[in-house]
Structure 1
Amino acid sequence: MKSLSILGSTGSIGVSTLDVIRQHPDKLKVVGLAEGHDVNLLAEQIREFRPDIVSVRDEASADRLRELLEDEKPEIHWGIEGAAAVGEAEGADMVVSAIVGAAGLVPTVRAIRAGKDIALANKETLVVAGQLVSDLVREHGVNLLPVDSEHSAIFQSLTGHRQEDVERIILTASGGPFRNTPATELQHVKPEQALKHPQWSMGAKITIDSATLMNKGLEVIEAHWLFDMPADKIGVVVHPQSIIHSMVEYIDGCVMAQLGAPDMRAPIAYALSWPERCESGIKKLDLTAIGTLTFENPDMDRFPALRLAFDALKAGQTYPAVLNAANEIAVAAFLERKIGFTDIPRIVEQTMQAHTPFSPSTLDEYLAADRWGRETAATMTS
């Protein structure tokens, strides 16, 4: 029996994770849940999965949760410290890190320091503080298993092969809802249009990131840390069908690819059951029904966010943290209709240009870079 804490239990990844757990009550157990926005759904999850410890966004949410639960009360916490307490929960063997954005960094770091294996869906943890997190994973001897479908695909395609035989890793991207939209029309895109992803059902922030291709850029940085690959050995190809989730090319010209329906329960199930496999509940793949798989190069002129992410990775130091921070502020401003769609990468680039980088070594220094990026980007969105 593997015991789990889930950070971000009411988000799309958290809900999918609980669905996988629901299918395997003899193998998987929930001991902790942390959420940030939906107390009502958390209350339902608590009644079903009976965790020992939970966390909510703030104290008012904690009071509301107590009212909803009446006599069925686990240990209730709130805020970043509350999420960290869930991650550190004594009975948890693994922590599913699925809090959206850089807010997931501190709880994930605390879970690693507590000796928990990590199923990582929060790519920003590695984008913001990749070196720190990688060092901590080695120091504490824990497993860091990717949950993003692209990184899970690479992880699976690397299994059984030598690192020195890898020519490059290739991340696939759906291209988002505006893959064929003329550049002149992108400035008029509204939030409701950008939130209609052609293949995946995800939360608002990651859906907007997919529309700008920033999500793929963040995945490039994440892949660098997960697989110890330099930027020039990481490629991106647009694959609209989202059936091949990513690939690994080897020095002999062979390419290993992992295929599956676009359903996050598959990579979640693999991370939870690794090194074994378990039923995920996804629809079986019918290649004859799909018929055709197509590929094209990403257009970094129309979608400069991907270029900015490569630039940040190559520059290193605090640039990735600032890139991510500025993007989070810009995306929030777009969703609030304060800025236009094409303003998102513009604000990110201007924030990066204004930044004086440094080499962080402590968690506080990474958080300081994140805070500077947010404050600077915020001045450009008002």
Structure 2
Amino acid sequence: MKSISVLGSTGSIGVSTLDVVAEFPDKFRVVALSAGRQIELLADQIRRFKPDVVSVANPADCPRLQALVQDCSVEIVSGIDGVVSCATLPQAQMVVSAIVGAAGLVPTMAAIEAGKDIALANKETLVTAGALIMDAVQRHKVNLLPVDSEHSAIYQSLSGHQYADVRRLILTASGGPFREFSRDQLEHVTLEQALNHPNWTMGAKITIDSATMMNKGLEVIEAYWLFNIPAEHIDVHIHPQSIVHSMVEYIDGSVVAQLGIPDMKTPIAYALAWPDRLPLSLPALDLCQWADLSFSRPDLELFPCLKLAYEALAEGGSAPIVLNAANEIAVEEFLQQNIQYLDISSVIRQVLDQYRNESIHSIDDVLHCDDRARCIARELIAQGR
């Protein structure tokens, strides 16, 4: 039985992870959970999975949670120290890193340094600190299994093949709700429209990132670090059906792909059980029902966030950190309806232009750049009001 700690247990990935665990109680035991503000849901998870330790973001929520689970024997901790304790719990063999945004970096690094295998759903960890994370993975000899459906697909498509034989990686993207919009239409996008993803049910932040295609840009950077493939050999194809989750093209022209219904339980289960597979109770993929599987190249003029991500990766240094931080602030402001949809990419571009690129040597350097970039983004947005 594998003991796991789930960071971000009340988010969409965390909930799906626990659904997989519940389906295979003889294979997994939850020893730690960390969550943000959804205290009632966390209490339900505690009663259901009986972890040893749980962490909440705000210390003020501890008494409330304690009252909700007073019949459970569980240690309740809080703040960054609390989530790090969940990430490094001695009895945990694997840590599912599913905290949204750059907040997942510190606990994920702590888990790696504690010798835990990582099921990585927090793409910002590699976007902001790819070199540091991959170096730590090598030094501590841990396994890092991608949970993003696209990177899981590539991981599976690379299995049994030699990296030297790879010509390019092809990340597929649904294109979100605006793949057929014109520039004029994008100027009038509402928050409700942006949150209405056609294929996937996700949290608000990642749903907006999917609409702008920043999510795919972050995935390009993540793929660069995960698979050690130059950016010029990482392509993005819009695939509205979300059946082909990504592909690897080899030097002989062969293309190996992973297909499946759009359900995050599949890549989650693959990461949890690797190198084995689990008999999930999901509908089988019936290709006969899919007469058309279409692919096209994204228009970088309509989706400038994707272009900005490629540029930040090429620039290196602090640029990906700044890109991610500015995006998180811009998306937050858009969700609060303080800026318009097209302002998201504009804010990111302005922050990248203002921030002088720096070399990154430590997690402290990452956190410093992240904080400064967020301040610049907030100032720019405040000036524009």
TM-score in same-fold range (> 0.5): yes
Gap regions ≥5 residues in structure 2: none
Moved more, 316-325 or 372-381: 372-381
Change (3 A) 1:37 1:279: farther
Whether 2:164 is the aligned partner of 1:164: answer: yes
Residue 316 of structure 1 pairs with residue 321 of structure 2 = no
Q: Distance in 2 between matches of 1:170 and 1:349?
A: 25
| Structure-1-length-normalised TM-score | 0.99
Q: Does residue 1:256 correspond to 2:256, yes or no?
A: yes
Partner of 2:301: 301
What's the C-alpha RMSD, in Å, of the aligned pairs? 0.7
Q: Report % sequence identity.
A: 58
The secondary structure found in structure 1 opposite 2:278 is coil
Query: Alpha-carbon deviation of 1:326?
Result: 0.1
Q: Which residue of 2 aligns with 1:196?
A: 196
1:182 CA drift (Å): 1.2
Counterpart residue number, 1:377: 377
Q: Which residue of 1 aligns with 2:142?
A: 142
What residue is the counterpart of 1:124 in the other structure?
124
Partner of 2:75: 75
2:143 & 2:282 partners in 1: Cα distance? 25
Pairs within 5 Å for 1:50-61: 50-61=50-61
Distance 1:131 1:246 in 2: 24
**For structure 1, which segment, 201-210 or 282-291, has the greater mean C-alpha deviation from structure 2 after superposition?**
282-291
Q: What is the CA-CA distance between 1:342 and the residue it aligns to?
A: 0.2
Which residue number in structure 2 is paired with residue 30 of structure 1?
Answer: 30
Per-residue CA deviations over 1:211-230 (Å, capped at 9, x if unaligned) read: 00000000000000000011
**TM-score of the superposed pair, with normalisation by structure 2:** 0.98
What amino acid sits opposite 2:146 in the alignment? P
The alignment partner of 1:181 has SS state of coil
Return the letter of the residue paired with 1:372. Answer: R
Separation in 2 of the partners of 1:23 and 1:73?
A: 23
Partner SS state of residue 200, structure 1 = coil
C-alpha distance in 2, partners of 1:375/1:3? 39
Measure, in 1, the Cα distance between the counterparts of 2:80 and 2:170.
Answer: 34
Deviates more, 1:67-76 or 1:345-354: 67-76
Q: Work out the CA distance in 2 between the residues paired with 1:282 and 1:265.
A: 9
Letter in 2 for 1:48: R
Alignment correspondent of 1:282:
282
Distance 1:283 1:106 in 2: 37
Paired letter, 2:356: T
Deviation at 1:289, TM superposition (A): 1.0
Distance 1:296 1:282 in 2: 28
Partners of 1:22 and 1:70 lie apart in 2 by: 22
* Structure 2 residue matching 1:172: 3-state secondary structure: strand
Structure 2 residue identity aligned to 1:13: I
CA distance in structure 2 between the aligned counterparts of 1:81 and 1:307, rounded to whole angstroms? 36
How far the C-alpha of 1:280 sits from its partner, in A, is 2.7
By how many angstroms is 1:144 displaced? Answer: 0.4
CA contact (8 A) 1:265 1:281 kept: no
Hey, what's the Cα distance between the residues in 2 that align with 1:288 and 1:41? 39
| Whole-Å separation in 1 of the counterparts to 2:257 and 2:335 | 35
Instruction: Please report how far the alpha carbon of residue 70 of structure 1 lies from its aligned counterpart in structure 2 after TM superposition.
Output: 1.8
3-state SS of 2:211 partner: helix
Deviations along 1:132-152, one digit per CA (max 9) or x if unpaired, are 101100110000000000000
Deviates most, 164-173 or 275-284: 275-284
Equivalent residue of 2:282, what SS?
A: coil
What residue number does 1:237 align with?
237
How far apart are 1:281 and its partner, in Å?
A: 2.7
Query: In structure 2, the residue corresponding to 1:177 is in which secondary structure?
Result: helix
Match of 1:213 in 2: 213
Name the amino acid aligned to 2:155.
F
- 1:19 aligns to what? 19
- Is this contact kept in 2: 1:269–1:279, CA < 8 A? no
Distance (whole Å) between structure 2 residues aligned to residue 258 and residue 344 of structure 1? 32
Determine the C-alpha separation between the residues in 2 that align with 1:376 and 1:57: 25
Q: CA deviation at 1:185?
A: 1.5
Deviation track 1:286-329 (CA, whole Å, cap 9, x = no partner) reads 11112210001101001100000000000000000000000000
Q: Distance in 2 between matches of 1:280 and 1:267?
A: 11
Worse-matched range after superposition: 226-235 or 60-69: 60-69
> What CA deviation, in whole Å up to 9, does each residue of 1:233-253 have, x standing for no partner?
100000000000000000000
Q: Counterparts of 2:92 and 2:34 in 1: how far apart (Å)?
A: 13
Q: Which letter does structure 2 place at the counterpart of 1:343?
A: D
Match of 1:3 in 2: 3
Name the SS for the 2:176 alignment partner: coil
**Letter paired with 1:185:** Q
Q: Distance in 2 between matches of 1:148 and 1:76?
A: 29
